[in-house]
Every structure is written in C-alpha cells, then in structure tokens.
Amino acid sequence: MKKIAWDVYMMLRPYVSNIVRIEFHEVTKKAIIDAIANPRAISLSMVGAQLVRRIEDRWIGFGLSQIVQGKFNRKTLSAGRVQTPVLGWIIERYDESRKDKIYAVTMTLSNGVKVRLSIPPDKEEFIKALKAMHRNKSTDVEIKVKVTKAGEAEEELNPVPPYTTDALLRDSANILGLSVEQTMAIAQELFESGLITYHRTDSTRVSNVGISIAKEYISDRFGSDYFVGRAWGGKEVGAHECIRPTRPIDSDDLRNLLNTGLLQLAIRVTANHLRVYDLIFRRFMASQMKSARVLKERFKISLYLNGVNVHEEEVERVSKILEPGFTKVWGYIEGREYQELTPGEYDITSIDYIKKVSRTPPLREGDIIAMMRERGIGRPSTYAKIVDVILKRRYALVVGRRIRYVVPTNLGRQVYRFLTEENKEFSDLVSEERTRIVEKHMDDVEVGERDYMDVLNELFNEAISKGILRENVIS
C-alpha cells in the first residue's frame, strides 16, 4: 500500500505540489471522515522498505525460480526466501509424523459418554480385541473401563486477544474447516463491505472506537459488569488494529438485517461469510469481557482386558463454570468435551473409531500460518499467499475432510532437496535464519535505521556471488 501511494504521488507531482496521504482501516463513514481530517505526508522510509521487499523478491525469488524451472524443465515451478523454508517445515513434520505411531481410539461407554484415548501399538492383544469390537465381531474377551477421580481445582480463565491475521486463519481452518485462501477471500469482502476492520494485520491493539463498540454490545446483552475494556497490543503504537467488527451487530442481527432488506451489501453473503464474521465477532467481544472462573477435574481412565489392567490415561475436563465471564460468547475451551464423564465402572457399547496415527500429526494450514508468525518470516499480507503457492505448485497436498493436513509431494521433496542439499550456495538464501535477517533489514529501513539502497546493494552483491543474477542484470 505504501508503494502504491508513492506511485500515485509521483504521477500527480508534476501537476500539483500539495499531496498528502490518508489512511483508514475500516470502510465506515466515521473512519473515512477521520482519515480525511488527519492527512499525513508520504513516509519515504516505509516506501523504501516496500521497495526492498519487492526488488528482493525479484532478484532472489525470481532468480531462484528460473533456476528451478530449468532444472526440472517445468515453467510452473517457483522458489523463494519464505516459500522454501515453509515447504521444509511441511516435509519435516510429515516425516516426523510417520515415525512415532499410536492407536487413536474413540469409544462409547455404557453411560453414553464418548472418550478418546491413545493406545500404544505394543498392546497387540488389546488392540486386536478393540478392532474386533469395531467390526461388530463376537469375541471371548471382556473389556471394562474404570473411571476414577484424580483431582480438581478452581481456575481463572482469561480471554484470548482479538484476532490477528495468522490467528484468524488458524482458527478458521481448525474450527470452520476453511482453507486459508477461502478465509482471506471472505475477510476481504467483509472488509470491503464495512463489516470488519482491515484483515491483514499482526497487531492485537484495540482503538477507543473498538472498545466503545464492545462496551455497547456487552452492556446491552449481558450487563455492564461483564465489560472489561482492554486495549491489548502491549506497547504497540500506530494505526494498525486487530481484526474486529465495526458495529455492535452480531451474526444473528446481521442475518436478520440482510433478510429484511434493512442492510444491503454489494457482495452476496453466504453461510461461510456469516461463519467467519461470527468467529471474528465472538473472539473480539470475548477479548473485552471479564475472566471466567471454572472448576477443572482430572480423571484417570483405566482399561481392563479379562480383568488385567492394560492401559491407563488421564483426561481433564471443565466440570463446572462457576463464573461465566467471556464464555458467554466464546465456548472454545479445552476440556469441555468431557462434561458428562463421572467416576464409575463401565462397559464399552461401541468402538466408534480406531486408527493408527502419529503422536505428532502433519501440519494443518492453520499450524503453518501460526509458525510463520511465531518464527518471524512472512507478513500478514503474505501468510495465505505463501501456503496457496505451495499448494498450487503441487509441492504439497491437503488431505482429509474433517481435519485437513498438508503433506508433501515427491515434487516438493525434489525441489526442496535441490535448493537446500544439492546446491549449498542456494541453501543460505532460503534458510529460515536468512529470511529472518532480511525481514529485520526491512523493518530497520521502515523505521529509518538503515538506508534502503545500502540493503539493496548487499542483496544485489549476494545474488551475484551466488549465481542468481548476472552483473549486467539490474531488475
């Protein structure tokens, strides 16, 4: 956006001298009026950082991509300083997932409660009996389940911060089952329709306007005692905010307004639009509500085969919500799935699921986004694009329906091996550490601590020394 503003500035500069930039992060009347009332000059340091990013992508990314295309004789292939280490994560996690296996078992007890357990593969006789029960085959063995209480404690639960781009993409994938590409497309339309703030952000900061929206909704629906205004964001400064609704209208109200024609939007609102909006709305409102107090209980589940204890496992549940707080709007709390579990001895009425799986499963799309944020490579505006490119290049595939895992292809392995093992001069350019260093250089340029031409000269000389560029190539 900074580079676009600079390009527009340069086009207008021959005809007018008084050129300023306005910035708004939600498409609402108030935000636009406020932006017009508070214009500012073009930030040359921000433009410089954007130039470094774009030129580096062309020198390193495009240069490596041409080399990869020539090696594999396929014009559809690509490489890059962010894309390649992310592909490495996918490969590494998938290989790890194939090593340490257990049996994931979901069973229904005679009291109707379902429990999920992890059985080691060395319990061969027991697993054989469970598989037979899963196939509804008669068996001579007797299996009993004993549930005993292992402890309890009251605990205060604090709400999580409002959404940043990576957190939204992760939850949308894991909770709603939407791909990162789908989520970003929906968020873009919600933003353009004036329903949410800008969706490409790594800030959790909440403005005074956002806090006032939360206060109005929470006080009206639950009472003023439930409202605890939080600015979040720590020491963050600047205009960027979290992803939040622009009005105190929840998804039910939004649906009713659309159905009655009282609110008309330029987009066709689908069920997925409402689901993503609902996720954003609830997460934001929860972040502005008081903490919850719950009672957590630990249970030991013991499995007996013909009277012999063959497996024990502990589970934890939220047995009682003592003070609901933010759980009034946000119900995604670990331990809620065992609400009905109570001590006792039970039979197994059915084995609903039994499969050999990894203790460490392959990465999901949302996991990849979270790792990019945690490890400091990529930007909110590129998180979804990086994953999308890896999938479109057929370096990896998404498998599974209920839970969508990303697994590498043979092509992805070959390209990654070529860039990191077969050519050591390239491996430095696409390493995770190198990517973090380049991101740091861009941050330094943006805050005025480094000159963008100095950074570009370093990148250019390195690209030449590695054989990525010829000396007579400037762009």
Catalytic residues: 198
Query: Would you call 355 exposed, middle or buried from its count of C-beta atoms within 10 A (0-12, 13-18, 19+)?
Result: exposed
What is the 8-class DSSP label of residue 20?
A: -
SS3 state of residue 350: strand
Helix boundaries (H) for 418-467: 424-427, 432-446, 452-465
Q: Are 22 and 39 in contact (CB under 8 A)?
A: yes
Q: Pick from 465, 426, 458: which is nearest to 67 by CA?
A: 426
Q: How many CA atoms lie within 13 A of 386 on its CB side?
A: 30
Buried b (16+ CB within 10 A) or exposed e, 281-317: bbbbbbbbbbebbbebbebebebbbeeeebbeeebeb
Contact of 302 with 311, CB cutoff 8 Å? yes
Instruction: Give the up-direction half-sphere exposure of residue 127: CA atoms within 13 A in the CB hemisphere.
Output: 15
Q: Please list, in sequence order, all residues whose beta carbon lies within 8 angstroms of the beta carbon of residue 465, skipping any fewer than 6 positions away.
A: none
Q: Report helix, strand or coil for 108.
A: strand
Tell me how far apart the alpha carbons of residues 222 and 327 are, in angstroms, rounded to a whole number.
12
> How many angstroms separate the Cα of 396 from the Cα of each of 134, 138, 243, 266, 427?
33, 42, 29, 35, 20
Element (H, E) at 301: strand 292-305
Q: Report yes or no: 366 and 172 within 8 Å, Cβ to Cβ.
A: yes
Instruction: Determine the residue type at 468.
Output: I
Residue 71 and residue 65 in contact, taking contact as beta carbons nearer than 8 Å: no
What's the maximum distance between 2 C-alpha atoms anywhere in the chain? 92
Residue 236, helix vs strand vs coil: coil
User: Which helix H or strand E contains 95, and what residues bound it?
Assistant: helix 83-97
Partners of 269 in the β-ladder? none
Residue 72: which H helix or E strand, with range? helix 63-72
Q: Measuring CA to CA, which residue among 315, 327, 249 is closest to residue 281?
A: 249
Provide φ and ψ at 199, rounded to 5°. Answer: -95, 0
Query: Counting Cβ atoms within 10 Å, is residue 164 exposed (0-12), middle (13-18) or buried (19+)?
Result: buried
